[in-house]
Structure 1
Amino acid sequence: MSMYQTVVKAIGSEAGLFKEEQMLILFGENAPETLKNYCYNIEVLPVERPIEKNMTLRIGDDQYRITAVGNVVTKNLHDLGHLTIKFDGAEQADLPGSLHVALGEYPDIQLNTKITIN
């Protein structure tokens, strides 16, 4: 069973711009207007326990090992549905709200794509 699970409810018109930078932004329905167009909007749901290194992030059919977790990742995801995911394999988070995962193919995210962490 997943310790966190949600789905993509809407996709901002500019959300795909970060693909070149190998990152994406998730945000719940209360995303600030300045960010809304750059985010994948998700349903805000509780996080069962802290997100930790070596857990697995799944986006649709794609799976990634978590390599680094910023110190506010769990709180931001739980409270706001906000998470910045970087597909760079970094062993240390560069920002408090960043989740880094092992290098892999950038996911194809559509409406209703399921996102889980376990």
Structure 2
Amino acid sequence: MTSPATTTVYESVVTQVGEQVEAFLAHGLLIFFADGSPAELHDISVLHTASTAVDGPRPGDTVHVGDTSLEVLAVGDVVGDNLLNLGHLDLKADGRSQAKLPGDVCVRKGDLPLLAVGDTFRITRSAGEEGSP
């Protein structure tokens, strides 16, 4: 649910959580791929099905993973295309203000949540931001 001051640019529901996802969380990394991704990626990824796919994240957006909300600090060059075309996103809790890799979405340092089937993954943007849908 968003307030009138925000718009949802991406929203999906978790359909599967790989066996190795929790180990990656210990290193501040949460990897998403859309359902239908290659089987070799399933163990390390949160699989999801998008219901809204308007845009990828931008700095200043908020990523909502389950009950946790995180401000986007930096976004790599290929993140938008990867998310919209593959459902792929690497969420890194590294506190960086510039993405180290082209596929990184950087948020504050800290714990990322372990998601469960049925949880939501959503990206919201303030309605006043330039380029908002």
- Fold match by TM threshold 0.5: yes
Letter in 1 for 2:12: T
Work out which of the residue numbers 28, 33, 45 in structure 2 matches 1:27.
33
Residue 50 (structure 1) shift: 4.3
The amino acid that maps onto 1:111 is V
Residue 5 (structure 1) aligned with residue 11 (structure 2): yes
Structure-2 separation of matches of 1:20 and 1:14: 10
Displacement after TM superposition at 1:103 (Å): 2.4
Runs of 5+ in structure 2 lacking a partner? 1-6, 125-133
Larger-Rg structure: 2
- The residue type equivalent to 1:87 in the other structure is A
Distance 1:95 1:86, change over 3 A: same
- State percent identity of aligned pairs: 31
Structure 1 runs (4+) greater than 3 angstroms displaced: none
Code of the residue aligned with 2:29 in structure 1: it is M
Seen in structure 2, the aligned counterparts of structure 1 residues 50 and 28 have a Cα distance that, compared at 3 Å, is closer
Structure 2: distance between partners of 1:50 and 1:29 = 17
After superposition, what is the alpha-carbon deviation per residue over 1:10-62, rounded to whole angstroms, capped at 9, x for unaligned? 11121211011111100012322322111000114553134210110011111
Letter in 1 for 2:107: V
Q: How does 1:23-102 map to 2 (within 5 A)?
A: 23-45=29-51, 47-102=53-108
TM-score, L = length of structure 1? 0.91
Give the Cα–Cα distance (whole angstroms) in 2 for the partners of residues 73 and 12 of structure 1: 21
Supply the distance in 2 between the matched residues of 1:64 and 1:112 (Cα, whole angstroms): 19
Gaps of 5+ in 1: none
- CA distance in 1 between partners of 2:56 and 2:122 (Å): 14
In 1: Cα distance, 2:23 partner to 2:66 partner = 19
Q: How many residues align?
A: 118
